[in-house]
Structure 1
Amino acid sequence: MTYLKDRNRELILLLLEKIKYSGDQSLIPYLKLWEKVDYKKVRAEILKTIDVLEYKKPVDVQAAQDRTESINEALKGSAPQDLLLKCWECSKRFTFTIAEQKFYKQKGFALPKRCKKCRSDRG
């Protein structure tokens, strides 16, 4: 679960809202693992999510919608930028450039899961 640690915090909080809304209790073990490795604010939100799932508390739908709207608004105006991804094989971080992103999007490919070195070693 450490790969989630350095991600965009607003998107992480949105993900947790969606998990709460789903009511999927099978995610609780993963949330507990994640809670051990993340930062204080995210840990607190993970614990709230676990609490909602375990005790089937009502979800604040309005808060989830507000957060979704604010993130969508923020993403609308954001300029394209290089992404820093983590390789699934060697666990090193690699840059996924804007040009590569455009190429992948044009071809309908998903984000790469391996760095260039691991991809070339594999193929």
Structure 2
Amino acid sequence: MPEIAFIMGKSASGKDKIYKNLIEDESLKLNTVILYTTRPMRAGETDGVEYFFVNDETAVKMQESGRIVELREYNTVYGVWKYFTADDGQIDLNSGNRYLVIGTLEAYDKFCEFYGKQHIMP
């Protein structure tokens, strides 16, 4: 059985609600994966809860070392903000744990390339 369940869908398709419901069902024993971002932390956010907040230099070093699984960049009025999943030990395919990830089709493809399609369930 695949270790990573991947939820994807168009904006406003309900994927966030499905994700939340699945995570709240403790009988499923699904682990979440916290994404990284270079955008500034907003009021009420906590590093390591909503995101891991890193600077551009850290993001570049992680990319150069091959630790970025998938990356999205958004041009904002404040500059380019990056959001990405990193190979940082949160996902351990040998642990017997199961993971739930939410993302885009492009992110799904990158997860399949990085971890192997046999480990991902769309």
* TM-score bracket for the superposition, by shorter chain length: under 0.3
Q: Kindly indicate which of the two structures has a greater share of residues assigned to helix.
A: 1
Q: TM-score, normalised by structure 1?
A: 0.28
Q: Larger Cα Rg: Structure 1 or Structure 2?
A: 1
Structure with the higher fraction of residues in strand conformation = 2
